[in-house]
Structure formats: structure tokens, C-alpha cells
Amino acid sequence: MRLMISWCSCLVIFCLLQASHRTSGVAYNITPSEPLFPNQTLVSSGNIFELGFFTLSGSENQYIGIRYKNLTPSKIVWVANREQPLPYTDRSAKLTIGSDGNLKLMDGQENIVWSTNVSSRSNYTLAVLLDSGNFVLQDGIYGEIWGSFEDPTDTLLPTMKIGVNVRTGVKKFLISWRSDSDPFPGSFSTGMTSETPPQAFTWNGLTPYWRGGQWDKSKFIGIATMDQSYSSGFTVQQDTQKGTTYYSVNRYDIFLYMFISPGGSLTIMYWDDGARAWLMDWAAPNNTCEIYGTCGPFGVCNSLNSPICRCIDGFVPKSNEEWNSLNWTRGCEREMELNCQKNTSTSTSTNVKKDAFWQMSQMKLPDSGNYISDIGDEEECESWCRSNCSCLAYSYVSTIGCMVWSKDLIDLQEFPTAGEDLFVRVAHVKAGGSRHKAVIISLSTIAGIIFFAVFVFVLCKWRANKTGNAWQKQLKQDDSLELTLYSFDSILLATNKFSTTSKLGQGGFGSVYKGKLKDGKEVAVKRLSSTSAQGVEEFKNEIILISKLQHRNLVKLVGYCIEGEEKILLYEYLSNKSLDTFLFGWSFLFIYLSQINYFSIMYFLP
């Protein structure tokens, strides 16, 4: 009896709590007996998302939608009745579960405005909002029988999938709002293609507006910012047996969403806790080159160039007038017919030149390629394309394989970094001419560099000789100087190019080497350091004074050399004494004769 009373008490408390939730405007599920009214919201268990009736600013319509609960400004991520809004004055509308187990949005006159329209074999169904943002309908037999993730509007949430099932024909695409205040389906849609490899697209109606390029199992290679270090959590799942290709994002560490705007911008937003705001992570297109086919067939777009469009080498604009007026949509055409396409009697001759392939690097690969599954390397890919005249270009991407193109090359873009190599078939003559032009440019550049280097060398040599000649001229002007002037080459020969084996020692003013002149005379060669502060006048005085002074301990000066920056003195070599003792072991005595002139005498004391 006590147990029964206790159980009944708990039931009463539970019912009161449920009633309290309904009264306060918060619900955690929708049942056939507990619908959702305009003054209530359905909240996920973790209070991350909420579903309810909403009216946009400046609008007179009312919708059922889902948004992040506690993040302001809030973003509506899903709308149930975007094509059939309720008047905002209808306060008797409700979202309920009908007798057939389907979710139904009813207006005040009990008319069905929107319904899930699924089959259920259960007598009881329940609708809940998950923390993933998925609004699901569950029954007691199959579990989840419908979810809002299966019917996306303009926004992709983590774990949600968009794509196509080619077997059933079902497409799950993001479709933009008509305007910021009207969730009615707009002109732009975003989804995946079912080709191999799959590509991400945004369409304006049925016309391609933006293309993300081929999926290489880790990234879309047509998006330059998706480099090798890219790790967004976005992934593509392709099951060829089931005929499905889906694109999703698996990130649980941050709040984020991707949506297609009314203007066609595909944007990824993430929540920054520090800024307490939604920040943009990425958007496309973000420049003119990213708009599909800006430069037309066989045209290449580079946003860093001016103008941004150019033709592939071997191609010319279809209309120079339009091209010059910056209208590039008609693109380019071949300047010369391909050799493999020429229908002449000599076409089978071995003398006929073959087509070549022009390499283009750092490229966004063109649209409408074909994947050749049974080719394992780049050489095979090239061979296949070369042997098929219909093959206009090929590319081998290690993470994809061999791709070839037999249609017009459209939506080509040149990246400053990243990108892939594309090889375009061109006539042999044009390819050769282009290579010849490249060779000429390269050789001209190299020749210019060599000429400049020679010019600088000759100039430096001339300036050095000019300086040396000036010093020699100053010394020769002194009639009292009677010493032999030696060439620098003769001193190099005498000292074995100043080899370490000839070196006698080193002091503050330079190094001393033992040398042997052509006449067999042995000399000590004092090579003044280039860092020596001794100028021409001091050097001249040293030569004059040492050559005239006589002393038993003074080494006799026999010659000198001045060439360029070189200042060299040649002394007699004394075999009975070490020259380093004479030159480095003694102190220098400087005698300043201020009464006559300022000059110095270098004298060696024992």
C-alpha cells in the first residue's frame, strides 16, 4: 500500500512538472496529446537547440523553425513551412502528431499546412529535438522514421549530410532563402555531384555558379585554402554500389554551420566564445575568378593579374573586341588545328609532327573530366591521352588517379600556391614555338646576368688599378727613391701564391713570407694587411726612410709592390737570423721629427 501511494505521488509530481514545463513555454517532446503552440518552444536535452514558432523582422508571416538556443544573434538553421507560412496573427496554430503518426502543422481552422508524410506501423509516435539540431519523429517499432536532417533548408549542421542518391533520384541540397526576411526557396542551391571524383557545386537555378573542384579523399582541390594541412572535419562519403554521394562535417568541439545566402555565397560560420559572436571562417566565391566559367572555355583566370583572364598557350580569344572590353564569357579557341585532327593523305606518315602537351601548374582543374579507373601512374595517363585524339587534356593526381577531358576546358583558375598540374594538348609547332620562346627568354636572362657580372668585375678591377697607379705615381714622383718596383704576379710566383709553407709570421700590420725571385735572390715579403690604417703617405715615408737608413740591426729594403689594394715591401732575407725575430720580436721605435716635418722612422731595436 505504501509503495502504491509512493508511486502515485511520483506520478503526480511528474505530471505537475510536465504541466509546469508547458505553462512556462518549454517542452521536451511532442506527442499526439501534447502539441506545441506559438507560446512554447521544444528544447533539446542539452539546451543547445530549440524549435518553435517565429516571425522575422518586417514580415507578417509565421513559421516553425530551429535555432541555436543561447547564442545571440540566433541563426535559424531549419524551417518546416518555408513555402506555406502562417499569418503571424494566428495564435491557435499548433504542431502536433496526427492519428496516422505524422507530424502536422495545423492552422487555427485545423487545416494541415505542413506534414512529414511518412508511413508508420506504430500506434504511438513521439517527436523530439536532439542536441545535434536534428528534429526527429520516432515510433515504437522502427525508432527514428523521419528527421529534419533528411529535409534540409539552407543550412548544414555537423553530422548532417547533403548530396544525391542516383538510384532513387533523391537530392538533398541546401537551398537559399529568397531574402534575409523571407525563407521561401531562393535561386541558389548547393550540393554534390555523383561523378567520380565528386565535386561540390553552387547553382543559380540550373546554371553552375561556383565549383569547389574534385574531392581527393581529404579536400576539394579546387579550393586554394584547402591545402595539405587543412583539417576542417568536412568529408565526402561515396558509395557507388548504393549510388549515393554525401557531404558532411564531423566537428563536435565548436558550434558551427554552413549556409547558402540569398546572394549565392556559401559561408561557414563558427561561434567564438571570447568575442561572444558568430565569426566567418570561409566563404565562396570570394573573388571574380571563383565564379564559374568567368574566362569562358579555354580561358584561365588569375585574380592577381590585370586583366584577370588570359587564353591558354596555343589559344586566342574568340572575339578580340569582347575580350578587350573585359567580356570573357565566350572564351578562347585554338590558334592552330591539332595534328591528330587533320584529315589529310599524309596524316599517317611518320613525318607528320605529333601533338604535344603544354604543362600548366598550380591549377584548379577544369570541369567535366572523366576518371580512368584502370590507370595506375602518370606515364600511363599521358600515354592514354596521347593515343586518343579526343583527349584534350589530362591530369594525374596521386590521391585521385588519372583524369582526362574531351570537352571544352571550362572554369580554369590559376592559384598563387597549391593547385595541380594540367597537361593541355596543343599542336606540335605551337608547342615547339612556345618552348623555343621560353628557351630564348631563359638564355637572354642568363646572358644578361653574365654580362652584368663581367661588367662589375671589370669595373672593380679598373678602379683598383686606378688606385694602384695613383699610388705608384706618387711614389715615382720622389726622385730620391731608388728601389725596384715588382709586379704582383712576380711576388705571387716568388711566394708560391702566399702559401702557408712560405709564411714566416704575422704581426699587427700584416704577414711576412719567404720568397725567391726569378734571379734566385731570397727575400722576405711583408704584405700589409688590407685593414691596416697606413695610408699612401705613411707607406711612402716608410719606403724612403728604411731604404736610406743604415744600421747593423736594420733589415735592408730591396723593393716594393703596389697593385690595386696591395701594398708590399721586399726585404733582404737573412739566413743567419729568423726574420720574424727582426720584424715581430722587437718593438717599434717611432721618432717624430717635429722640427722638420711630420714623418716616422720604423727602427728595429735588438
CATH number at residue 498: 3.30.200.20
Domain tally for the chain? Answer: 4
**Statement: residue 585 has pLDDT above 70:** no
Flag whether 247 is in a domain: no
Q: Is 229 domain-assigned?
A: no
Looking at the structure, tell me whether residues 137 and 69 fall in a common domain. yes
Q: Whole-structure pTM over 0.75, yes or no?
A: no
Residue 266 domain-assigned (yes or no): no
Shared-domain flag, residues 29 and 130:
yes
Instruction: Give the mean pLDDT of 384-389.
Output: 96
Residue 345 forms part of a structural domain: no
Pairing of strands 557-563, 484-485: parallel
Q: pLDDT, tens digit, for every residue of 391-423?
A: 999 999 999 999 999 999 999 999 998 899 999
Final residue in a domain of this structure, among 426, 453, 486: 426
Q: What is residue 153's three-state secondary structure?
A: coil
Q: Would you list the DSSP string of 303-321?
A: TTSSSSEEEPTTEEES-HH
DSSP 336-357: S--GGG---TTTTSTTSPPPEE
Do 505 and 518 fall within a single domain?
Answer: yes
Rounded average pLDDT over 271-278: 93
Same domain, 368 and 310: yes
Count CA atoms within 13 Å of residue 541 on its CB side: 15
Residues counted in the chain: 606
Domain range for residue 482? 478-604
Q: Is residue 383 domain-shared with residue 301, that is, in the same domain? A: yes
**Binding positions:** 526
- Whether 390 is covered by a domain: the verdict is yes
Which cell numbers in the block locate residue 200?
561540390
Tell me the average pLDDT of the chain: 83
Q: What pLDDT was estimated at residue 506?
A: 81
Q: Where a domain ends, among 132, 151, 170?
A: 151
Q: Are residues 106 and 93 in the same domain?
A: yes
Please say which residue of 135, 151, 167 terminates a domain: 151
Domain with residue 68: its CATH number is 2.90.10.10
When pLDDT is averaged across residues 25-46 and rounded to a whole number, the result is 94
pLDDT at 483 over 90: no
Largest CA distance in the chain: 141
DSSP-based three-state secondary structure for 278: strand
Q: Which of 492, 506, 458, 484 is nearest to 556 (CA)?
A: 484
Please classify residue 283 by burial: count the beta carbons closer than 10 Å to its beta carbon, then call 0-12 exposed, 13-18 middle and 19+ buried. Answer: middle
Contact partners, residue 23, CB within 8 Å, separation at least 6: none
Q: Are 413 and 432 within one domain?
A: no
Q: Greater confidence, 535 or 82?
A: 82
Residues that constitute the known binding site for ATP: 526
Same structural domain, 381 and 448: no
C-alpha triplet 509, 513, 514: angle, nearest 5°: 145
DSSP character for 447? H
C-alpha span between 29 and 31 (Å, rounded):
7
Question: Using CA atoms, how far apart are residues 151 and 233, in angstroms rounded to an integer?
Answer: 22
The cell 561556383 sits on which residue?
A: 210
Do residues 324 and 403 both lie within one domain? yes
Domain co-membership, 27 together with 144: yes
Q: Do 464 and 488 share a domain, yes or no? A: no
443-470 burial string, b = 16+ CB within 10 Å, else e? eeeeeeeeeeeeeeeeeeeeeeeeebee
Cα radius of gyration rounded to whole Å, the chain: 44
Amino acid identity, position 451: F
- The answer to whether residue 582 sits within a structural domain is yes
CB 341 within 8 A of CB 410: no
**pLDDT of 553:** 62
343 inside domain? no
Is the confidence at residue 426, as pLDDT, over 90?
Answer: yes
105 and 79 within one domain: yes
Model pLDDT, residue 605: 33
Residue 239 lies in a domain: no
As a whole number, mean pLDDT of residues 448-464 equals 69
Asked if residue 103 lies in contact with residue 34, where contact means CB atoms within 8 angstroms, the answer is no
Which phi and psi (to 5°) does residue 541 adopt? -60, -40
